[in-house]
Structure 1
Amino acid sequence: MRTAQHILDNSQLSIYDNPGSYLMCVYNRDKALCHRLEGQQEAPSLDRCQPSCANISRTDHHADQLLALAERLEKQAGSEFVPVPLADRFRRRASRLRTLADEHYRNRVTVQEDLS
């Protein structure tokens, strides 16, 4: 796996930050799922990011943002003013966001210090 700094330092990669989806796109048009129906493009369609796309990369900051959003959604779902169907949607979305964050933390690559 590539570290975030390695990705950012590689001038041959096209990197797009997608703050609305809490991820970075390390764009490889041959692997891009955002263009499955339209054919290959020179840049990603950031409004069509797919969670299973091989181009997705997340930082700890992105994962932290996912968890914060999940907490906000769960808080809204607990409000007495939110209709039950909407509260259920909020809870399902929060669960998906937590799964994405957990997956990041489970699979992330970190720099290990040499303690010897």
Structure 2
Amino acid sequence: MVTVKNTQAGPRGINTVAGPVSVDPGATVDVKLSKAEFRSAERTGWFDLDGDAEPDEGEKAPAADVPADDGLEDQTIAQLTELASAEAIDLGDAKLKADIVAAIRTARSTAPEKEA
């Protein structure tokens, strides 16, 4: 999500993931921008931008910051799917091994800490 503030004297438009949005002078809106549109908005000089852009189409989200020695790479797709099920991890539409591993690592990195 990106917070966009129009710093110009007149209304300006910005292309968001959901479509064009008009921003009145001095107004602030929270929108989803692709990385390409974020860069384009920066180049105009019309806006103050704060936040992170969405991955561009076809670009994968960055992998979770999890150590690679978790053993997931050594498991088969069937084993990974069973592990995800046992840990109640939603794999969404992940079918490739790399996508399943990424989904498990992401879920583990965002899960609340368990007490010992």
TM-score by length of structure 1 reads 0.27
TM-score for the superposition, normalised by structure 2: 0.27
Larger radius of gyration: 2
Higher normalized helix content (fraction of residues) = 1
Structure in which a larger fraction of residues adopt strand: 2
